[in-house]
């Protein structure tokens, strides 16, 4: 008899990515209300991420984009979103699967979700939980600001979860 395990970590991850998707859908339909502005951090090497080559070279691991005043053509699907942003006075189209998102924040209301990508094998990164709703102070990054992630690119499949434990 095969044993099965309920993967609550994946259920939580899916639910929280749904929050990201629905927030972006509302922005797509009605725009950003008031002083809201959104930071989305994603893994640039995740399968399905489609960004211009110069951005891939500049941010080989992770990139943070800001949706505030100058973004265009936000399109939100079930599994991904696409948006046009200005880089060096040129509009560029970015396509990002929700599975590639590692952080989502709205500093105007001190809201943040964090996700970790865990590499199951050498070629296929997959999102799993380790998601947390955090009220810590947000780093204020500019559009296109990259976050250093020392775990990306190594063959270590172990992720310490101690930082997510509550005292």
The domain ranges of the chain are 8-148+156-161
Please give the pLDDT value at position 86: 93
CATH of domain 8-148+156-161: 2.30.30.220
Please give the pLDDT value at position 118: 53
Please give the pLDDT value at position 31: 92
Collect the ranges in the chain with pLDDT lower than 50.
120-161
Please give the pLDDT value at position 74: 97
Please give the pLDDT value at position 167: 52
pTM recorded for the entire structure: 0.69
Tokens of 15: 């639910």
Tokens of 125: 């990164």
Strand, coil or helix: what is 91? Answer: strand
What number of helices (H) and strands (E) belong to the chain? 2, 8
Angle (CA) 144-127-56 rounded to 5° is 30
Sign of the Cα pseudo-torsion (70, 96, 7, 123, in order): negative
């Amino acid at each position: 008899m095969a044993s099965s395990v309920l993967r609550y970590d994946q259920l939580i991850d899916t639910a929280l990515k749904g929050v990201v998707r629905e927030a972006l859908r509302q922005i797509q339909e009605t725009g950003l209300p008031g002083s809201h502005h959104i930071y989305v951090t994603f893994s640039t090497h995740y399968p399905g991420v489609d960004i211009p080559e110069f951005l891939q070279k500049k941010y080989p691991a992770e990139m943070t984009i800001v949706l505030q005043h100058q973004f265009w053509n936000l399109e939100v699907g079930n599994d991904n979103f696409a948006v046009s942003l200005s880089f060096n006075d040129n509009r560029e189209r970015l396509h990002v699967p929700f599975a590639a998102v590692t952080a989502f924040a709205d500093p105007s209301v001190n809201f943040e979700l964090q996700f970790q990508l865990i590499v199951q094998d050498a070629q296929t990164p997959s999102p799993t939980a380790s998601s947390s709703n955090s009220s810590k102070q947000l780093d204020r990054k500019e559009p296109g600001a990259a976050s250093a992630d020392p775990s990306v690119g190594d063959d270590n499949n172990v992720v310490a979860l101690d930082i997510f434990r509550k005292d």
